[in-house]
């Protein structure tokens, strides 16, 4: 549906010129915005944000079109090609590559050279970069990491690990207590992708991981084999719950809730159902996936939603000003708050919602992930390659002796797909 958002009520008191990250002069003319934020809470958040921008630029004619998210995915190429809006939502990293390669997204590297963005959005720059240029800006993301039963760690006298040896030592103590180290449900494959992401980034580094997802490294490479060798150490210990291939990620939650497993490598969206299942904040905590190879910098999975300027947009300067506003520290604080998106601001100068897990995730992504921010395996790799590879990851977790066959199939797929 479409609506003209003019003179919308402010969600917060506006009056500080510091809120406008860009020009101080009010804009005129038109600005058309296409959004895929069709669910109620994200939709309201975006509409309120656009209302605040409208208040700053009362003579600017803003037209916003909101499209159902699944429909948006099928329509985006058509509307970027013909009758393009001035601003459109999408996703970072490889998910934006088809539109970059087709010349449908505007190069906005100039924005990333501005100090406000260069200094405060550094952790997400890699996710917005293709061919050494930036093609949009992020507006929200969330962390992945290890969520664990703090009360069980305390019972066993365990500390949060920071190294691979400490991780394995903790795991052995957990197994000796009659529990599994990790719950996981690989029925829908992507959770196994999360384990591969972290093990590969910690073993070989962010750049290698990106090269692999882009088809520039053979799957039979010895460095890839080392990633699987590290993974197999946990599998051979019996670290993961049994029959995980029969569970969805939600169906694997009770193992952690009931204390049969002590940790879950997962995105921050798992926190709410853990709390709803009865675990208190004194029972659950979070730590960064441990270092494996001290010679590579720490990098993280943090799926990122984005705004872009279509190459065929008619009002690109107005659009650039809107993107500056979107990523400003004040706006990032508002739209990612607990009453809005409930996720992490992309601006390091923003305030984070008063939630223990979000606070830790923000600190980790802002300060402790110098290696880069990945988007998750099924976003960083092309869809067909991601599907085949994640099938292989799941198979490896169940039948690790099949590794040679699995890597051979993945390498054949790489040669054909890329």
Per DSSP, 260 falls in state S
Q: pLDDT tens digits, residue range 339-357?
A: 888 899 999 999 998 888 9
Instruction: Tell whether 167 and 56 lie within a shared domain.
Output: no
Q: Which domain holds residue 131?
A: 2-141+303-350
Q: pLDDT tens digits, residue range 237-289?
A: 999 999 999 999 999 999 999 999 999 999 998 998 999 999 999 999 999 99
Tell me: pLDDT of 40 over 50.
yes
pLDDT score of 340: 86
Instruction: Tell whether 12 and 159 lie within a shared domain.
Output: no
Question: Is residue 187 in a domain?
Answer: yes
Instruction: Tell whether 133 and 155 lie within a shared domain.
Output: no
Split into its structural domains, the chain has a count of 2
Handedness of CA 260, 263, 266, 270 (dihedral sign): positive
Do residues 62 and 53 touch, judged by C-beta distance below 8 A? yes
pLDDT score of 5: 33
pLDDT score of 41: 85
pLDDT score of 49: 98
What value does the CA radius of gyration of the chain take, rounded to a whole number of Å? Answer: 22
Residue 342, SS3 per DSSP: coil
d(CA 271, CA 152): 17
Per DSSP, 96 falls in state G
Q: pLDDT tens digits, residue range 397-410?
A: 999 999 999 999 99
Region 25-29: mean pLDDT is 93
The closest of 264, 257, 107 to 183, measured between CA atoms, is 264
What CATH number has the domain bearing residue 42?
3.40.190.10
Per DSSP, 183 falls in state -
Instruction: Tell whether 379 and 261 lie within a shared domain.
Output: yes
Strand runs labelled E in 202-333: 261-267, 284-287, 299-301, 304-308
Give the residue with greater pLDDT, 366 vs 357.
Answer: 357
Region 131-137: mean pLDDT is 97
Strand runs labelled E in 92-143: 129-130, 133-134, 137-141
Instruction: Tell whether 278 and 314 lie within a shared domain.
Output: no
């Amino acid at each position: 549906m479409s609506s003209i958002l003019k003179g919308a009520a402010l969600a917060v008191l506006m009056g500080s010129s510091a809120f406008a990250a860009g020009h101080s002069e009010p804009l005129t003319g038109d600005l058309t915005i296409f959004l895929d934020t069709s669910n109620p809470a994200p939709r309201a958040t975006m509409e309120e944000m656009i209302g605040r921008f409208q208040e700053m630029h009362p003579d600017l004619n803003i037209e916003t079109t909101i499209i159902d998210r699944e429909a948006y995915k099928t329509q985006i190429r058509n509307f970027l090609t013909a009758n393009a809006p001035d601003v459109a939502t999408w996703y970072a990293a490889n998910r934006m590559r088809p539109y970059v390669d087709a010349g449908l997204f505007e190069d906005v590297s100039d924005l990333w050279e501005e100090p406000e963005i260069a200094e405060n959005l550094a952790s997400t720059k890699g996710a917005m970069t293709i061919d050494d240029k930036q093609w949009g800006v992020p507006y929200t993301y969330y962390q992945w990491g290890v969520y664990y039963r703090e009360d069980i760690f305390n019972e066993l006298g365990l500390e949060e690990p920071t190294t691979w040896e400490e991780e394995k030592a903790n795991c052995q103590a957990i197994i000796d207590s009659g529990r599994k180290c990790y719950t996981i449900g690989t029925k829908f494959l992507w959770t196994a992708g999360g384990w591969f992401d972290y093990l590969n980034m910690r073993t070989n580094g962010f750049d290698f991981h990106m090269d692999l997802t882009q088809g520039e490294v053979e799957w039979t490479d010895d460095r890839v084999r080392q990633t699987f060798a590290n993974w197999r150490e946990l599998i051979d210990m019996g670290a993961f719950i049994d029959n995980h291939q029969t569970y969805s990620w939600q169906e694997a939650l009770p193992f952690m809730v009931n204390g049969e497993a002590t940790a879950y490598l997962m995105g921050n969206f798992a926190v709410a159902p853990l709390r709803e299942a009865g675990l208190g904040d004194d029972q659950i905590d979070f730590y960064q996936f441990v270092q494996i190879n001290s010679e590579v910098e720490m990098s993280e999975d943090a799926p990122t939603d984005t705004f872009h300027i279509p190459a065929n947009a008619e009002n690109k300067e107005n659009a650039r000003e809107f993107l500056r506003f979107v990523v400003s520290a004040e706006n990032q604080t508002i739209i990612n708050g607990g009453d809005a998106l409930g996720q992490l601001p992309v601006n390091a100068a923003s305030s984070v919602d008063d939630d223990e897990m979000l606070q830790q995730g923000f600190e980790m992504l802002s300060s402790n992930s110098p290696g880069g921010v990945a988007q998750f395996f099924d976003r960083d790799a092309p869809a067909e390659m991601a599907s085949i590879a994640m099938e292989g990851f799941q198979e490896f977790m169940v039948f690790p002796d099949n590794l040679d066959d699995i890597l051979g199939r993945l390498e054949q797929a790489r040669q054909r797909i890329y």
